[in-house]
Structure 1
Amino acid sequence: MQKATTETLYYEHSAANPVTLTVKPGEWFEVETQMNRGPDADRVPDDIRDLYNQYRSDSQPNDRGNASSGSIYVEGAKPGDLLTVEIGEIKVHPVGWTRYRGSTGAMPGYLGPSNIGEQFRICRIENDEIIWNDKLRFPVEPMMGVIGVAPEREARHNGWAGEWGGNFDIQEVTNGAKLSIPVNHEGALLHVGDMHARQGDGEICGGGGIETGGSVTLKVSLSEKPEEMTWPRIENDDYIMTTACEKPAEDAFRIALSEMILWLEASYGMSRGEAYIFLSQCLEARVTQFVNPSYTYVAKVAKKYLV
């Protein structure tokens, strides 16, 4: 199996990034991801410092996050195609961290950063559990925060997300999911990174859920992009999902909602009016991250209702 390693890391989605791996549609390949830089090692408790230092890289810039592996060239991909990325197994490192630096868009202004101060925590990950403290363990629910292609006309820092994919931080981008993204350049130029061992909605602390690194197996396929589709879509065994990133958050919701209406019209035989009142009964939608430069909404419909 071919592998994209962390030897070359990119901090922006760009068509100018040299290709590090070439894959064919239908081929499973592996991507290693680098854990985000995190707190300096001398601030980490003594009992976990050695483990933390095995996976943290001091060579990473401290002012740039979400290192991505790739650029991965997909044979046959061309502008106007739809790239579908199937996510296989995600394996996380045995350590992760989370941090609040004192200011995010999710923090109510009346509290102010000084009432909380900077917070961080380093956690061991053992037996598919995140050891939060002596009393609490969270189950590992891994996800890929960043999967995207090169944007059409510009380079975008990996903190951003948009029609090209990128830093959506959607928990459903996980084992068994299929993420579909419109292609802008020959080869698609896929970027992958920002692995989390788990994340709560909103990603409110800004340092992620439990930031970690590891490996993920992926397989890509190509098809014709649906005419009505603009933003990435997600599908798993139980749901179809649309996505959007915008600020304010209600605009992200409106985009995700409109994308779902157009999908139902084009693929499920509903008029726009019928789709609208149908969604009024069964739409599931939420903000998955509220701290990046633009906020992420995911809109979901259970397949059991798509009869």
Structure 2
Amino acid sequence: MPEVLFPLDSTKSFTEQQITGHNRWHPDIPPVAEVRPGQSFRVHCREWFDGAIHNDDSADDVRHAPLEIVHALSGPFAVRGAEPGDLLVVDILDVGPIPQEDSGPLAGQGWGYTGIFARDNGGGFLTDQFPDAYKAIWDFTGQRATSRHVPGVSFTGMIHPGLMGTAPSAKLLATWNAREGALRATDPDRVPPLSLPPLPDGAILGSLRGGDFDRVAAEAARTAPPRENGGNQDIKNMTKGTRVFYPVYVPGANLSVGDLHFSQGDGEITFCGAIEMGGFVDLRVDVIKGGMATYGVSENAIFLPGNVAPQYSEWLAFSGISVTTDGEQRYLDSQLAFQRACLHAIDYLTTFGYRPEQAYLILGAAPIEGRFSGVVDIPNSCATVYLPTAMFDFDVRPSAAGPARIDPGRGAPKAAR
């Protein structure tokens, strides 16, 4: 096993650990350790809400989830010799739930969760149709996931870190804050908001204290969106065996990682759409000197996906076009087309007995595939969503006999408004 450079004690909160990580992006957050090119190391990661979500049959914890504390990131790790303009090479050697613990109160100890967030606490991709909070608990058996809240479904997880990235430079951070602030100003009262401003409340900034902490907390960017440094990209294919090439913006690169997922569908469409968990990730790093200019990578990571995806051979696919649910034509709106494809899949699954929120949770958690299929034929983009048929315990294909009827069980818990 590689040396553990960021250990976590499951009995303690994120801020009570031997080494404190962070939940904001800023170039002045000090690294917790230095690693050399070619070195392999293990990192423990807390679930993104640091234990705020529980293994029970209530969604009140999702309804009141404290967004100001996310994400609980391990790091930063400085890479010896890395300089702005280089490419940081990161190999994901292994990734999994909390090691040596197959049961317990934390997500990753034999279980994980998927949440549909309430509109006024983050919302989701389909928040207009699903404005309330729901939750599904998933149990792990090896690499398979099942849920008492979504019966009739089991699938192999594509375990991956939802969030990994390098620190921004001061100039890049200022660019983020300026452009996201300008976006918010176009509709400052929108719920959910158009972007998240810096927020000192709930900020965790590693070893920073005093005046430095106050200054950085007032400037630091929230970790919710993906940006030029990688960040919260939520790419389900970034599994074991993946090699990622990150732009380097500060000396040492300052790599951080977290937000581990047992499984996820393309898009993570419920916002907390993956099966969230704590766990570990084994990494190896290297540096390509001057790689950003050499390969034209001025922003945003590129990667070679891992080769451990489950082998599904049969799919049921749904398409959508860029027309709203009330009939308004939009011009080549691929995101709207994908929303409509997802809604069509949800409607279809309800004919078998699933409640709409159960079908939505399936699309967020299971390894579905989402694709932009046609983006040039005006005025309608076409997007598609593919469901592996083998993940269902019954035949989901259309037939002359009509849909089988399943028992939806207790259903997914819904939070009180």
Aligned counterpart, 1:164:
229
1:225-236 aligned at under 5 Å gives the runs 225-227=291-293, 228-230=296-298, 231-236=300-305
CA distance in 2, matches of 1:35, 1:12: 16
CA spacing shift, 1:160–1:177, aligned 2, 3 Å: same
8 Å Cα contact 2:260/2:277 also seen in 1: yes
Deviation (angstroms), 1:62: 5.1
Specify the structure having the higher radius of gyration (Cα).
2
CA spacing shift, 1:226–1:186, aligned 2, 3 Å: closer
Q: Which of 148, 159, 166 matches 1:149?
A: 166
> What is the SS of the residue equivalent to 1:207?
strand
1:39-50 aligned at under 5 Å gives the runs 40-41=53-54, 44-45=56-57
CA spacing shift, 1:161–1:89, aligned 2, 3 Å: same
8 Å Cα contact 1:132/1:138 also seen in 2: no
8 Å Cα contact 2:73/2:256 also seen in 1: yes
Q: Which residue identity lines up with residue 113 of structure 2 in the other structure?
A: W
More off after superposition, 226-235 vs 181-190 = 226-235
Larger strand proportion of the pair: 1
Q: Are residue 14 (structure 1) and residue 26 (structure 2) matched? A: yes
Aligned counterpart, 1:182:
247
Q: Are residue 203 (structure 1) and residue 272 (structure 2) matched? A: no
8 Å Cα contact 2:112/2:275 also seen in 1: yes
Q: Which residue identity lines up with residue 5 of structure 1 in the other structure?
A: P
CA distance in 1, matches of 2:371, 2:44: 29
1:1-307 aligned at under 5 Å gives the runs 1-3=2-4, 4-6=6-8, 7=17, 8-37=20-49, 40-41=53-54, 44-45=56-57, 63-92=68-97, 93=108, 94-103=110-119, 104-107=123-126, 109=128, 111=129, 113=131, 117-133=132-148, 135-153=152-170, 154=173, 155-223=220-288, 224-227=290-293, 228-230=296-298, 231-236=300-305, 286=371
8 Å Cα contact 2:264/2:275 also seen in 1: yes
> What is the SS of the residue equivalent to 2:168?
coil
CA distance in 2, matches of 1:40, 1:166: 22
Aligned counterpart, 1:255:
none
Tell me the TM-score normalised to structure 1 length.
0.67
> What is the SS of the residue equivalent to 1:63?
helix
Give the fraction of aligned pairs with identical amino acids, expressed as a percent. 29
CA spacing shift, 1:207–1:91, aligned 2, 3 Å: same
Q: Deviations over 1:196-225 (max 9, x none)?
A: 001011211111310011001000110022
CA spacing shift, 1:163–1:62, aligned 2, 3 Å: closer
CA spacing shift, 1:76–1:250, aligned 2, 3 Å: farther
Q: Which residue identity lines up with residue 304 of structure 2 in the other structure?
A: E
CA distance in 2, matches of 1:61, 1:102: 12
Q: Deviations over 1:100-119 (max 9, x none)?
A: 1223351163x352xxx310
Deviation (angstroms), 1:285: 8.3
CA distance in 1, matches of 2:73, 2:134: 25
Deviation (angstroms), 1:157: 1.5
CA distance in 2, matches of 1:197, 1:168: 15
CA distance in 2, matches of 1:45, 1:70: 33
Deviation (angstroms), 1:97: 0.6
CA distance in 2, matches of 1:191, 1:249: 33
Aligned length: 228
Q: Deviations over 1:50-77 (max 9, x none)?
A: xxxxxxxxxx955332211001111111
CA spacing shift, 1:286–1:221, aligned 2, 3 Å: farther
User: Over aligned residue pairs, what C-alpha RMSD do you find?
Assistant: 2.7
8 Å Cα contact 2:239/2:305 also seen in 1: no
CA distance in 2, matches of 1:148, 1:250: 27
Q: Which residue identity lines up with residue 224 of structure 2 in the other structure?
A: G
CA distance in 2, matches of 1:19, 1:212: 24
CA distance in 2, matches of 1:5, 1:62: 24
CA spacing shift, 1:237–1:148, aligned 2, 3 Å: closer
